[in-house]
Structure 1
Amino acid sequence: METLHLVTNAVTVIFIATTMFAAGLGATLPALRAILADLPLLLLALSANLVVIPLLGWGVAALFGLSTAPFIALVLVASSPGGPLGAKLGMVQNGDVVAGAAMQVLLATAGSITFGPTVNAILTAAEVGGGVSLDVAALVRTVAVLQLVPFAVGLVLRRYAPPTARSWHPVAVKVSNVTFMIVLAGMLLGSWHDVVALLGSRALLAGFVLSVAMFTAGTLLATGSPVRRTTMGGVAAVRNAGPALAAVGIAFGNQQAVLGALAAVLLSGLAAAVPIAALLSRGRGGSTT
């Protein structure tokens, strides 16, 4: 099992880097500047992901009357925006990949700073769990190395070596697709016993409902065409597991109950988000870049 975790972690790193690299190869500086200069879109996306969705996580956890471990897991997930799968869902739904990748990196960077205080405030108000203290600098470095740097390298290649970017882009997308499937399989194989243990609880349903609610909130709190709005929904629906896992280790001593609940919430969330993205892809000829 330890070997499986090591392999899954290694493939996850490759998946994140190649997904962001492929997004950069498919982007252009004018298109990227247009996204970052869209103040209404930025404000809505930041509000949705940093304020509305964490509150949704708290609300869903309370609504389903979850016990301590799944309650904590749901709040951790809801409070951690910018998961690299958000960029992948933009590809799956043939959405606005440039906007999705740019927003995902921005949210991951902002979330690495807001995650700790947000989780601490919610758990304190809900009188669940304890204080959460995380190394913000380490989280920012992780986002920069695994997400921002590959995206920037791809963007530079697209700008200064277009033929190379065009030839490498299909390969990067294929590697991203293959590693995506391996990561999903690794999560299922490595956490199946934890997921099975929660089948009698409401944690899996709560994770599924939260993912649908996050997709909806991200779509509604966005501007632009329907394609761009649903891309923002996909970015909002999948969260950044890194800070959540760090919090489990630092603040909760790697409690197996919390780890198992976190895996269950993440997997049930993907079970909602991936089919939605696949359904949206119907009738769309190709990704918008």
Structure 2
Amino acid sequence: MSTAAVAALLVASMLAVGTTATIDEFRALARRRGLVMLTVATNTIVLPGLAVGLVGATGLAPEVSLGVVLAAAAPGGGTGALLTLHARGDLAVSTGLQVLLGPLGLLAVPVWAAAAGQNVVPAGDAGLLVVAGGLLGQVVPLAVGMWLRRSRPRIAEWVHPVARRAADVLLAGLVLYFLITGVGRLPQVGGAGVVVIAVLVAVSVTPVLLPWLGSVPQRRAVAMTTGVRNLTLGLFFAAVASPTVALTVLTYGLLMYGMCVPVALALARSKPVAVR
């Protein structure tokens, strides 16, 4: 039941993203190759690699370690663009990166889970079905949403809030489900697990402080996009593991929003900058 709900959440989330994305945003992003390459490397190599190193150095329990790595290795969270908007960042950059990073995360998550000594993809045909299902669950609704935005804008305007509300309801239901089934395992995340997650979130928003990364709006977009992980994708793989793994992913999300939202609000109160 939880796996089906997470798959539905993945579809609804990507459909909501697709109905806000345009080809022009990708064209603009393609002209910023350096920024794209650095952001992709940070999201798919640097942050998950740091997560693997930290969980190994701190000796976290295997299920907690897996949950941390799943969250850290899953880029392209759906609310990254929203926080970019609040932070007065470059919304076009954020949306384009979000769409690009989502499918890449489907490859990065099992690879980094394996690097941490865990296997989240079943062997044989079952594994192919998981990967193919995850890919189709992201690419197809994303493509459909973008087609609607381009060819049927009025329908896209109707579909977007419906898909967004469906995703919100499914996410809330899954959070409640995993909390009920895993509340007794909360102590297993432990203080060390919380510290590791907090360090990873803090590192993920540091691009806002790097002047060589680009303009102020671009740096804010990269910081918010990198800071918000794709918890839906993390839960997609956690659902085939255990409630403790899913609970750790949700703990990551709690700290992620608890740290990223104040950063976005603080940036919103800073001196306004032009979004290019």
Q: 1:277 aligns with which of 264, 268, 271?
A: 264
Aligned to 1:119: 113
Q: Matches of 1:95 and 1:45 in 2, distance apart?
A: 15
**Are the equivalent residues in 1 in contact too, given 2:89–2:275 (CA < 8 A)?**
yes
1:150 aligns with 2:145: yes
In the alignment, what sits opposite 2:221?
231
Mapped to 1, the partners of 2:207 and 2:55 lie a distance apart of 17
How far the C-alpha of 1:226 sits from its partner, in A, is 1.2
Choose which of 63, 87, 91 in structure 1 pairs with 2:81. Answer: 87
Q: Which runs of 5 or more residues in structure 2 are unaligned?
A: none
Secondary structure, in 3 states, of the residue corresponding to 2:75?
A: coil
CA deviation map 1:5-45 (0-9, x unaligned): 99998677555533442x33xx5x54531212321112111
Alignment RMSD: 3.8
- Closer/same/farther in 2, CA of residues 150 and 84 from structure 1, 3 Å limit: same
Work out whether residues 73 and 261 of structure 1, in 8 Å CA contact, stay in contact via their aligned partners in 2. yes
Alpha-carbon distance change, 218 to 279 in structure 1, aligned in 2, over 3 angstroms = closer
User: Structure 2 vs 1, CA of residues 12 and 284 (structure 1 numbering), >3 Å: closer, same or farther?
Assistant: farther
The alpha-carbon deviation at position 181 of structure 1 amounts to 6.8
Alpha-carbon deviation of 1:221?
9.6
TM-score, with structure 2 as normaliser: 0.76
Shift of 1:200: 4.6
Q: Which residue identity lines up with residue 245 of structure 1 in the other structure?
A: L
Contact 1:19 1:88 in 2 (8 A): no
Question: Counterpart in 2 of 1:215?
Answer: 205
Structure 2 counterpart SS, 1:202: helix
What's the counterpart of residue 46 of structure 1? 40
Supply the distance in 1 between the matched residues of 2:85 and 2:234 (Cα, whole angstroms).
Answer: 25
> Percent identity at matched positions?
22
Structure 2 residue corresponding to 1:58, chosen from 52, 58, 61: 52
Task: Please give the TM-score of this superposition, normalised by the length of structure 1.
Answer: 0.73
Where does the alignment leave 5 or more consecutive residues of structure 1 unmatched? none
CA distance 1:174–1:286, shift in 2 (3 Å): farther
Paired residue type of 1:146: P
Contact 2:10 2:137 in 1 (8 A): no
**2:51–2:72 contact (8 Å) kept in structure 1:** yes
Give yes or no for the alignment of 1:248 onto 2:238. Answer: yes
Matches of 2:177 and 2:264, distance apart in 1: 25
> How far 1:59 moved relative to its partner?
2.8
Q: List aligned pairs for 1:123-202, cutoff 5 A.
A: 123-124=116-117, 129-130=118-119, 132-133=121-122, 134-135=127-128, 136-156=131-151, 168=157, 176=164, 186=173, 189-192=176-179, 194=182, 197-198=186-187, 200-202=190-192
Structure 1 residue 274: Cα displacement: 2.2
8 Å Cα contact 2:72/2:229 also seen in 1: yes
Within 2, Cα distance between the matches of 1:245 and 1:181?
A: 14
- How many residues matched? 267
Contact 1:19–1:87 (CA under 8 A) maintained in structure 2: no
Answer whether contact 2:10 2:233 (CA < 8 A) is retained: no
Distance 1:51 1:222 in 2: 20
| Counterparts of 2:133 and 2:211, CA distance in 1 | 30
One-letter code aligned to 2:42: A
